[in-house]
Amino acid sequence: MKSKAFAIFVGAIMVLSAFAGFVLRGNDQNENVVVPSGNDSLQTFGMQGRLVEWDFGGLQDALQISPESTVMAYWINLSASQNLTDAATAALPQSLGLSYGSQIYSTKIETLAHVDFNGTWTEFHEIMPYVVGYNGLVIPYQDYMMIPAGTDFAIVYGKPSLFGTQDSVRQVLDVITGGLSAESFTLIGDEQADLQVAALGSGGSGMPLSGGYKEFYLGVKVAKSPDQGFDLFARYLQPLASVGSKAGEIATKNNLSYSTTGSEMEISGLVARENLQNVLMALLGP
């Protein structure tokens, strides 16, 4: 289903680019967007709309605009390392931004997040400069511009821009305008990382290691010297014995530290560039 959604979205972006009036803005202006009402589009609905304006420096920021029912989320800095981007693309659930990032906008995606909730999903894309104007059909919701992409999907521009089914995007906009956000994720610390993944065992077998824990968190960052590889740390809260055993095997095989403290288990260490994809696929797989 996601493959179909992605194909629809990429096709819609091409159509929008053909007859839509886009305006780009840097990150230092905060005025409301004004939708142009010129004659250069097939259909024009002149209206004013709000842009998404939210800090987007890590997974915590993404979770603050994710619905309370979120069971898995990840955030990645696509400018940090091509090696990391390639490894994440192979290991993470399919993502529009990871798969088609170079084809979507007139400038590349700098950072992205993907969140799963209520049996659906939404993606957040940060580009610089970012789109603030659109000349065409929009669906107003909570004073935001929802731009239809195909029959079921929608885009909302801003920092970050949103993409998902129209229903899922509405749920995210509800959070942005004051609804309850995801607050069940407790393992995300203050440390900075270029890739962050969080999951709840309540999400079921589709979660990393089949959800055999109460909560999971993974952080990966480029080492100080890129040639050294990547610093990796993974934490599990209340892991099942089978998860503890498998995580221990992964740690031993890849020369990573492994420890347990109370109900928490942690894996950490340096991962070589050429081995990053294998380690991520092992930790994020079933």
Ordered by where they begin, the domains of the chain are 2-176 (no CATH), 195-284 (3.30.70)
Q: Do residues 258 and 252 lie in contact, with contact meaning Cβ atoms separated by under 8 Å?
A: yes
Across the range 192-209, mean pLDDT stands at: 97
Amino acid in position 203: G
pLDDT of residue 38: 37
Please enumerate in sequence order all residues whose Cβ is within 8 A of that of 7, keeping only pairs 6 or more positions apart, or say none: none
Question: Mean of the pLDDT values across residues 252-274?
Answer: 97
Which among 72, 184, 80 is positioned nearest to 118, based on CA atoms?
72
CA–CA separation, 60 vs 95, rounded Å? 19
pLDDT of residue 133: 66
Q: How confident is the model at residue 136 (pLDDT cuts 50, 70, 90)?
A: confident
pLDDT for residue 272 is more than 70: yes
Confidence of residue 5 (pLDDT cuts 50, 70, 90): low
Nearest to 79 by CA among 103, 114, 55, 107: 107
**pLDDT tens digits, residue range 39-88?**
333 233 444 578 899 999 999 999 999 999 999 999 999 999 999 999 99
What one-letter code names the amino acid at 234?
A: A
**Residue 23 confidence (pLDDT) above 50:** no
Q: What is the pLDDT of residue 108?
A: 86
- Beta strands 52-53 and 158-159 are parallel
- Band the pLDDT of 132: cuts 50, 70, 90: low
Q: Kindly report the CA angle at 31 between 161 and 9, in degrees rounded to 5? A: 20
